[in-house]
Structure 1
Amino acid sequence: MILIADSGGSKTDWRLIDNSGAVNQANAPGFNPYYQPIDDLKKSVQELLLPKINEEVNKIFFYGAGVSSVKNQLTIKSAFLEFFPGAHIEIGWDLLAAARALCGHEPGIACIMGTGSNSCLYDGSKITGNVANLGWILADEGSGANIGRKFLVDYLREVMPENLRNQFRERYPLSREEFLEKVYQQERPSAFLASFTKFIFQHLKEPYCYQLIYNSFAEFYENNVMKYDNYKNLKVHFTGSISFYFSDVLRQVANDKGITVKNILEGPIAGLTLYHKKDIN
């Protein structure tokens, strides 16, 4: 049996491929080793995966945010070996998952735009370039966390239109102190901030909301895509909930900047499942 995981800031999509090629699935909270203890991942494996496994697991492909460092890769691999001591384990960053699912074997620029954001230059087989990812506090332009942070700042400072503020207050009847506690003291603040994008999407016809999304995407293109040589002659692809649900705005900004956007997928897991079916012996 093969296990495949695509782990982002908000959720982890699992696919289990048995020896006959049948596919099962499981969903778990997101996991990022920079922000969360490894016990969070172990708990997901024990409670959500093990009950679905009835064959020997011989290969595991884990793609996730925050796994580019050797230290984090070894931490994750050690956790899996506790449950599957005989398995071949491959840890890849979320960008490799995006590139394989979006570009296949063709060169292009693969981007992630969900709770967090990132991008890479892909030559059809491997990643050859990457603009430094600095996380949601310093950068992550165009991500749900980045958009949500800007939105919350404008809400708390009473910058946004009053009618929009009133509607948001009805949805989130929290005080300033309660908002700050959720951001600075509770777990998964990036996911909390990204949750505001649902409200923004529902009010996208409001000029404030549209301009917020447009400007955030413009920042992403300028600070990521346009940093790659020859970007105008390459196809740009996206995966992630923000790019998927705000795809019309994303394509409009690209068009305004002379960038060609091709595939936009909500998540890469289906493409990864097809990619790794070849690994079944």
Structure 2
Amino acid sequence: MILIADSGSTKTDWRLVTSDAVLGQAQTAGFNPMYQDADEIYQEVHDVLLPQLNDQVPTAIYFYGAGCSSPDRNKRVEDALRRIFPEAELHVDHDLLGAARALCGRKPGIACILGTGSNTCLYDGADIIDNVPSLGFLLGDEGSGAYMGKLLIKAYLYRELPEDLATSLTNTYNLTKDGILDTLYSSSMPSRYMATFARFVHEKQKHPVIHGMIYENFSEFFERHVVKYKGHETLPVNFVGSIAYHFGDTLKQVAQKYGLHVETIIKSPSEGLILYHQELLQTFGTPNA
């Protein structure tokens, strides 16, 4: 029995699986070791995840997480999990590898994450072979919910929104300039705060100004990331994440402008990861990738 975790900055989906069944599922807050230490991660897993597992103990854990991009950061997650599951075999990898495995399985392709944050990679069917770096909330995250929120809030504070949109935004979130800046700069997870405004963008997406923002967001994403990969003209481009899922029609329109073939858009990688690891268990009798 293995435990698979798909962790973004906002939430973590957990699945307990065997070679032919899903025994349970759970959800906790998201983790990002760029911003959180082992103690914070441990507390959430201990207080929120454990009660949902009903005393079932996995023999191996596969944790795919945002920010798990270096040995030091991965160790924070490993340390937290080891305190709770001392006998389990632990594998902590970047959520980008999880996305590639969920979207492409064992076939080559370009895998993209568009959720609270964004990332991309070129995948050869077994490993990530190229990655235009994701520069995070401060310098990058093009295409993401956080970037979309940033475009909206900048236009709002610079008084560039039409009056109807500005009034609606103010009333919906009870916004003030000081309130926005205080929340943004005091938050340990500023990207999560900015991404909350993606809901407003989705509700107003037919407004020409908002549609233009969505189009700009995705255009920057394709130009700065996807078209940099060798073979992007012929390889399938696949997406996972809430932003890709809820803005899929516009995403496909922008992709078409760049001559890209969008093959798959899914909201969550969980189902794909389950199938990937179950296939390994069935084929090799081991959870090892």
TM-score (norm 2): 0.94
Q: Which structure 2 residues correspond to residues 138-153 of structure 1 after superposition, within 5 A?
A: 138-153=139-154
Residue 207 of structure 2 corresponds to residue 227 of structure 1 = no
Superposition RMSD on alpha carbons, in Å?
1.4
Inter-partner Cα distance in structure 2 for 1:214 and 1:36: 33
Inter-partner Cα distance in structure 2 for 1:23 and 1:140: 35
**1:195 alignment counterpart:** 196
Query: 2:170, 2:176 within 8 Å by CA — same for their partners in 1?
Result: no
Q: CA separation of 1:170/1:92 partners in 2, compared to 1, >3 Å: closer, same or farther?
A: same
**1:172 alignment counterpart:** 173
Q: Secondary structure at the match of 1:232?
A: coil
Query: 1:3, 1:16 within 8 Å by CA — same for their partners in 2?
Result: yes
Q: Which structure 2 residues correspond to residues 106-121 of structure 1 after superposition, within 5 A?
A: 106-121=107-122
**1:30 alignment counterpart:** 30
Query: 2:102, 2:270 within 8 Å by CA — same for their partners in 1?
Result: yes
Percent identical across equivalent pairs? Answer: 44
Q: CA deviation at 1:231?
A: 0.7
Inter-partner Cα distance in structure 2 for 1:235 and 1:21: 29
State the AA in 2 paired with 1:2.
I
**1:243 alignment counterpart:** 244
**1:15 alignment counterpart:** 15
- What is the aligned residue count? 281
Inter-partner Cα distance in structure 2 for 1:121 and 1:266: 20
State the AA in 1 paired with 2:89.
H
Inter-partner Cα distance in structure 1 for 2:124 and 2:149: 33
Inter-partner Cα distance in structure 2 for 1:175 and 1:56: 48
Inter-partner Cα distance in structure 1 for 2:236 and 2:56: 40
Inter-partner Cα distance in structure 2 for 1:191 and 1:82: 27
Query: 1:6, 1:97 within 8 Å by CA — same for their partners in 2?
Result: yes
**1:58 alignment counterpart:** 59
How far does the alpha carbon of each residue in 1:93-149 deviate from its partner, in whole angstroms, 9 at most, with x for none?
011111001011110000000000000000011100000111011011011111101
Q: Secondary structure at the match of 1:233?
A: coil
**1:209 alignment counterpart:** 210
TM-score (norm 1): 0.96
**1:158 alignment counterpart:** 159
Q: Which runs of 5+ in 2 are unaligned?
A: none
Inter-partner Cα distance in structure 2 for 1:263 and 1:94: 17
Query: 1:18, 1:55 within 8 Å by CA — same for their partners in 2?
Result: no
How far does the alpha carbon of each residue in 1:34-91 deviate from its partner, in whole angstroms, 9 at most, with x for none?
1122223212211222222433321000001111101111221121111111111011
State the AA in 1 paired with 2:13.
D
Q: Which runs of 5+ in 1 are unaligned?
A: none
Q: Secondary structure at the match of 1:160?
A: coil
**2:49 alignment counterpart:** 49
Q: CA deviation at 1:188?
A: 2.0
How far does the alpha carbon of each residue in 1:238-260 deviate from its partner, in whole angstroms, 9 at most, with x for none?
00000000000000001111111
How far does the alpha carbon of each residue in 1:209-259 deviate from its partner, in whole angstroms, 9 at most, with x for none?
101000110100010000011210111000000000000000000111111
**2:100 alignment counterpart:** 99
Q: CA separation of 1:157/1:24 partners in 2, compared to 1, >3 Å: closer, same or farther?
A: same
Q: CA deviation at 1:18?
A: 5.5
State the AA in 2 paired with 1:15.
R
Query: 1:237, 1:262 within 8 Å by CA — same for their partners in 2?
Result: yes
Q: CA deviation at 1:157?
A: 1.3
**1:264 alignment counterpart:** 265
Q: Secondary structure at the match of 1:231?
A: coil
State the AA in 2 paired with 1:3.
L
Runs ≥4 in structure 1, deviation > 3 angstroms?
278-281
Inter-partner Cα distance in structure 1 for 2:108 and 2:215: 27
Q: Secondary structure at the match of 1:213?
A: helix
Inter-partner Cα distance in structure 1 for 2:239 and 2:56: 34
Inter-partner Cα distance in structure 1 for 2:76 and 2:153: 34
Query: 2:64, 2:98 within 8 Å by CA — same for their partners in 1?
Result: yes
**2:6 alignment counterpart:** 6
Q: CA deviation at 1:25?
A: 1.0
Query: 2:137, 2:146 within 8 Å by CA — same for their partners in 1?
Result: yes
